[in-house]
Structure 1
Amino acid sequence: MAVSADSGKLREGRPFDPYGEHRDDPYEFLAGIGDDEPVFYAPLLDAWCVTRREELLAVLKDDKSYSARDHNPRPRVPLPDDVARMFKTWRGDGGLGVGSLDPPAHARVREVLNIGFTPAKVRAFEPTMRKIATDLVERAAADAEFDLIEAFAVPYALEVMCARLGVPDDYLDRCRLWSEQRIELMMLQRDTDPELLREWAQGLVDFGAFARELARDRLAHPQDDLISELLHEGRAGNTLTADEVAVQIPTLIFAGHMTCAEALGTITYQQLSSPGGWARVADGTIDTRDLVEEGLRFDAPLAGMYRTATRDVVVGDVHLAEGSRLLLLYGTAGRDSRVHACPAAFSPGGGSSSHLAFGHGIHFCLGASFARAELEVAVQAIAARMPGLTLAPGQSRRYKPVFPLRALTELRVRQ
């Protein structure tokens, strides 16, 4: 029997704090309540958290009852009015990023974006991934000890995504800065100097202007890159306008490089911490694909996304009113004891592909096959050049307060 969300005990909620107490390991807390309470209210997030695979799939399959329009985290402190306006309008007039679109608008944009990530196009781009990875690994290898996140994971993921899009190399640092400024505003946790907030917001305005200029240039002068494909290669005459493509460019840069870098950090850390360590990857005992899939299951780089109920709904046995905000915790699906025999153990090759790290339904990650290839190439490049890689003394697993992103603060390693 469904229970109303307004009942006293449910509304009190659970003290889930992924920015503080539960930042480094949210799954220890979530595992303790998931079986008994797969849907719970988190006052700190002002959202109903959905933790079990069964309920997650039910919500993700029902795009009529749940809207993705407001799927990102919200700042926990109010933004100044001028900053709020800039944050709302920085993309321009071309619409919303594909992850924020609901049917029917979503289908048209998604159909065009899909042409850039077909299996054939992913395979064709793998040599470029491999060259970028090899060059960066060689550069990192100049130091006996280094931070793998800063020296390899972030620059690799950013350069790969920007190369696929056709972003000029001299904009790489700015694209990284703009992406970080977006995170700062989107996940603002405390009162911050208004001038700093304006600086971050202006960065996003510049990001949007850059994307529009780049899209208009590729419309007039097509090149061998994804932006040109989106403008000129649509199926049955279905292409996107320059303004529509410009809206998607920051999303592809932001989501495409940050999640890959985060996943690579988790995968490497977990394997270096496991029995046999990196040697089992370097000698081929552990298959690269199995390692990548297990990393995605064990700690998804994007632990969840928000949805808003467009009507009264029942999730699990909880009745939620129209307008209720839900946090779909993708990462907990990989820790569901009903699906995985030893969910808290990192074990490559243990049937990891049933995770929801890429979501499900109409918003399933359009670059999933690209990301998998990108991660496999990166792991192979590191293992080939640094077969004796180990964690640096004192390295522990610490995460940035940017939930639902799962970003290690650093990953110091030794050759």
Structure 2
Amino acid sequence: MEALRGMSIAIDPQSRRLRLDPRDPVFTDDPYPAYAAIRAAAPAFFWEDYGFWCFAAHDDVSALLREKRFGRQILHLMSRERLGWPAPKRHLAPFDALERHSLLEMEPPGHTRLKNLINRAFVSRQAEKLAPRIASLARERIDALRGDGAAELIEAFATPIPVAIITDLLGVPRAMGPQLLNWSHRMVAMYQFGVTRDVEIAAAAAAQRFADFMRGYAKARRADLRDDLISQLLVAESEEGRLSEEELVTTCILLLNAGHEATVHAIGNAVRTILDRNLDPRALFADATTTAATVEELLRIDPPLHLFTRYALEDVEAYGVSLRQGDKIGLLLGAANRDPARFPDPDAFEPVRDPNPHVTFGAGLHFCVGAPLARLEMTIALPILFERLPGLRLAERPRCRDAYHFRGLEALRVAWD
């Protein structure tokens, strides 16, 4: 074992094997030194703690996100017995039922059909309709706390805006926001490393209640169609029966979860980056072009999602690694975003970085459908935050959540003049 800034990590360049606990607090707080060491020793490596091969180089990750010989599903090609998987856990049935119909887990032709329906609904929501709403929410949240001189921004700013926007977009009452957050957090905990039975039971219960709510809400909405995403999806469902009730419920839950979970932490990580590095907000957000470039660099340098997994759909050789059909691989988005072979001086914040081909939103078939909305929210909310709270500064050193591979802050305590 070698010490890397207090981290317990072992890298064997010859066998390309890594031992590193994803829940090591030193690693979760700042994974980038480990990524650099891993990438230098073995950009393709077997992460023993996870039990699968991972890729950390930008070109490899970018290509494997697009590679059609890999997918998010494998059970359509191989049985659980052949894969050596245990039988599904009965207590996880409600959670697994949602996973089966999730856009994130589907492959063509089902993925193509469902994504086209979602894209059609999203396209009908023009950005200019959302921009004033985002700006109003940002000002409202800041005005509510300006006189306090200090606040915890994850709860007070980074969370309420994406939650309100995605509930408005879908057509769910904002008053449901806290309950939706509770269900979402319990479900998302299933994607962490080292999931316990208690986490599984909580996620299954949340999935069941979330599905029951969405099913009942969609049923009521059928008789009262409006200008919202649920109504758009209900209309799409009625056209040639292309959207089942299960797909409708799962899609709405996925959009509610993904529509706030990643954006909350993208905003929190962005504010931390600016304050931690003593960057000048006036320069970063001087005009629309500079603001857009700043947001892209903020997304690159500290993304909210760090690991994306796929399955080999056939026997394949991938960047020096021989994989058999059914093997899982991990793509390290956070490591790829700081690859010096693709980004000169990758640890430096360069808002004028051009090109900036980060993989924060993935690529290929599973490129994040909500990426334009996340970018819009950050582009509008961040300048307003720094403009209305002059002298914004960290009140204490932020710490990241114990939630690898989702990277976000436990809290972001700040003060201002």
- TM-score, with structure 1 as normaliser: 0.87
Q: 1:379 aligns with which of 378, 382, 386?
A: 382
Determine if contact 2:269/2:409 at 8 Å carries over to the other structure. yes
> Is 2:98 the counterpart of 1:99?
no
Residues in 1 aligned to 2:348 and 2:16: alpha-carbon distance in whole angstroms? 32
Cα distance in 2 between the residues matched to 1:319 and 1:133:
49
Deviation at 1:79, TM superposition (A): 12
State the AA in 2 paired with 1:100.
E
Q: Indicate the percent of aligned positions where both proteins have the same amino acid.
A: 29
**For residue 133 of structure 2, what is the aligned residue in structure 1?**
128
Q: Which amino acid in 2 is paired with 1:405?
A: F
Deviations 1:344-365 (A, max 9, x none): 1122222363101111101111
Q: Is the 8 A contact 1:265 1:411 kept in 2?
A: yes
Alpha-carbon contact 2:93-2:204 (below 8 Å) kept: no
1:34 is paired with a residue of what secondary structure? helix
Write the letter of the residue equivalent to 1:83. Answer: H
- Match of residue 360 from structure 1: 363
On the 8 A contact 1:39/1:49 being kept in 2, the answer is yes
SS in 1 for 2:258: helix
Distance 1:361 1:294 in 2: 21
Matches of 1:273 and 1:382, distance apart in 2: 16
Equivalent in the alignment of 2:292: 289
Match of 1:245 in 2: 248
User: Gapped runs of 5+ residues in structure 1?
Assistant: 1-7, 72-77
Q: Does 1:321 align with 2:324?
A: yes
Greater shift, 209-218 or 304-313, is seen at 209-218
Deviations 1:333-387 (A, max 9, x none): 2111111111011222223631011111011111111110011111122123113
Q: Deviations over 1:153-186 (max 9, x none)?
A: 0111111111111111221111000011112334
C-alpha spacing 1:213/1:24, structure 2 compared with 1 (3 Å): same
Question: Counterpart in 2 of 1:348?
Answer: 351
The equivalent residue for 1:159 is 164
Contact map agreement 2:399 2:409 (CA 8 A) in 1: yes
**Are the counterparts in 1 of residues 284 and 351 from structure 2 also a CA contact under 8 Å?**
no
Letter of the 1:387 counterpart? P
| Pair 1:68 & 2:72 matched | yes
Aligned to 2:19: 15
Structure 1 residue 68 displacement after superposition: 0.8
SS of alignment partner, residue 18 of structure 2: coil
- Which residue does the alignment assign to 1:219? 222
Partner of residue 4, structure 1? none
Measure, in 2, the Cα distance between the counterparts of 1:46 and 1:263.
Answer: 28
Shift of 1:83: 2.6
Q: For residue 413 of structure 2, what is the amino acid of its counterpart? A: R
What does 1:298-309 correspond to in 2, within 5 Å? 298-309=301-312
* Structure 1 residue 12, shift from structure 2 partner: 7.1
Task: Give 2:93's match in structure 1, choosing from 78, 82, 85.
Answer: 85
Give 1:401's aligned residue.
402
**1:70–1:156 Cα change, 3 Å:** farther
| RMSD, aligned CA | 2.8
Unaligned runs of 5+ in 2: 1-11, 76-85
Aligned length: 394
* CA deviation after TM superposition for structure 1 residue 197, in Å: 5.2
Post-superposition Cα deviations, 1:18-44, rounded to whole Å, max 9, x if no partner, equal: 321411122211111214422111111
CA distance in structure 2 between the aligned counterparts of 1:359 and 1:276, rounded to whole angstroms? 27
Distance in 1 (alpha carbons) for counterparts of 2:248 and 2:304: 25
In 2 relative to 1, CA 266–223 (structure 1 residues): closer, same or farther, beyond 3 Å? same
The two structures have a TM-score, normalised by structure 2, of 0.86
Taking the aligned partners of 1:130 and 1:79, their CA distance within structure 2 comes to 49
In the TM superposition, what is the alpha-carbon distance from 1:112 to its structure 2 partner? Answer: 0.7
SS, match of residue 15 in structure 1: strand
Amino acid at match of 2:226: Q
TM-aligned CA deviation for residue 407 of structure 1: 0.9
Contact between 1:281 and 1:383, CA under 8 Å: does it hold in 2? no
Q: Which amino acid aligns with 1:19?
A: R
Return the alpha-carbon distance in structure 2 between the equivalents of residues 359 and 200 of structure 1.
25
Cα deviations by residue, 1:33-74 (Å, 9 ceiling, x for unpaired): 2144221111111121111122112222223x2121379xxx
